[in-house]
Structure 1
């Protein structure tokens, strides 16, 4: 009985350690990073791959999972998404033929569930928003009413990242060196058109 009680105490300490560790308040550790890679240009915007990484060494994000939001700086909208979905469509009344995924000025995005059909998935998606330490979550979106070059595409701002019983503070969006991608055979590399990074620091338990 005593050993069972001790095991429960250890489990509780591990579970809540991310809430009390000073490491979680460091800009180099205990954070969530969001990387936004513009992969290609489209007639009215671009296609982007978004990667969320949990750098917290002792803290998992459990069900119902993470949520992410940001604010567009112009009148951008999301034509389509793969690996995630917007929680609100917003006012898309100006579109008559093709209806966007979301016209909201501040969209909120959530991960898809594991049972999502394979043709709607991409690598690292569809875990119900669950992120283990070191875990990654990805989704792809096609953005319209946006710039179609490095000089005209605008960086989304005011990112927010939330998780069950955890509160984060996200820093400013930064334009960084474009991500380089290596093919499986390691004989060819490509790179994103543009890359934007956001770091969200664990603040407190809620």
Structure 2
């Protein structure tokens, strides 16, 4: 009887130990953070996105969006950056300079003056070098390529301008977008620092 009790207890203990080890292994796998964007030589490097509202329109505003690459050694290389977000309300992009959206979305409710983009979650890309001057703004049109801050701070940024409609017309009525993401050339999400600066 003692030997039976000992073998049952030993069997339960070994199964429990195996289960505990498996559980600890699974928990440790789920708590590791990705080091995809981490650079040991530049642990504080980041990409900052600044959203400046420059002027107010009857149904929205004109903003300049600037992407700063504050990483010391990592460039954003071809095919370049893409930037996406989700609007808080039913905003539309009436026009753009220095960038373009990848899809227009469903603008069928608009007659006559059709917006540039009606998507709830637009994705913007940089224009290519050689874009006509009347479609450019300062620091645009490099095909999405941005130098690292250490290499050349004057080319470590990229900008585009957009005219947003159906958005509110004051600091109090404009609602901040819900989610913003920067996609690197391989399509992997990278965390970004976000500043929203509103000029009065």
Shorter-normalised TM range? 0.7 to 0.9
Q: Distance in 1 between matches of 2:141 and 2:196?
A: 27
Match of 1:92 in 2: 107
Q: Determine whether 1:137 maps to 2:163.
A: no
d(CA) in 2 for partners of 1:96, 1:105: 19
| Cα distance, 1:157–1:174 mapped onto 2, change above 3 Å | farther
Residues 23, 30 of structure 1: 8 Å contact kept: no
Change over 3 Å in CA distance of 1:19–1:49 after alignment to 2: closer
Determine if contact 2:50/2:196 at 8 Å carries over to the other structure: no
SS where residue 117 of structure 2 aligns?
coil
Partner residue of 2:133 out of 98, 118, 122: 118
- Deviations 1:48-83, CA, capped at 9 Å, x for gaps: 011100000000111110000000000001000000
Q: Where does 1:2-13 land on structure 2 (aligned, <5 Å)? A: none
Following superposition, the deviation at residue 115 of structure 1 comes to 1.2
Q: Which of residues 12, 33, 37 in structure 1 aligns to 2:48? A: 33
Answering whether residue 86 of structure 2 is matched by residue 71 of structure 1, we say: yes
Name the counterpart of 1:21.
Answer: 39
Partner of 1:169: 191
Cross-structure match for 1:53: 68
Kept in 1: contact 2:101–2:122 (CA 8 A): yes
Query: How many angstroms apart in 1 are the aligned matches of 2:177 and 2:118?
Result: 14
SS at match of 2:85: strand
The residue that corresponds to 1:149 in the other structure is 170
RMSD: 1.8
Structure with the bigger percentage of strand:
1
Which whole-Å deviations, capped at 9, do the CAs of 1:104-140 have from their partners, x for residues lacking one? 0000000000011011001000000001112110010
Q: Determine which structure has more spread, i.e. the larger CA radius of gyration.
A: 2
Stretches of structure 1 that go unaligned for 5 or more consecutive residues are 1-17, 179-191, 194-206
Counterpart position of 1:186? none
The DSSP-based 3-state class of the residue aligned with 1:22 is coil
TM-score by length of 1: 0.72
Query: 1:157-205: CA deviations, max 9, x gaps?
Result: 211101123640246x5555x5xxxxxxxxxxxxx23xxxxxxxxxxxx
Matched positions, count: 158
Measure how far apart 1:21 and its partner are: 1.9
Deviation, 1:98, is 0.6
2: CA distance, partners of 1:167 / 1:104: 20
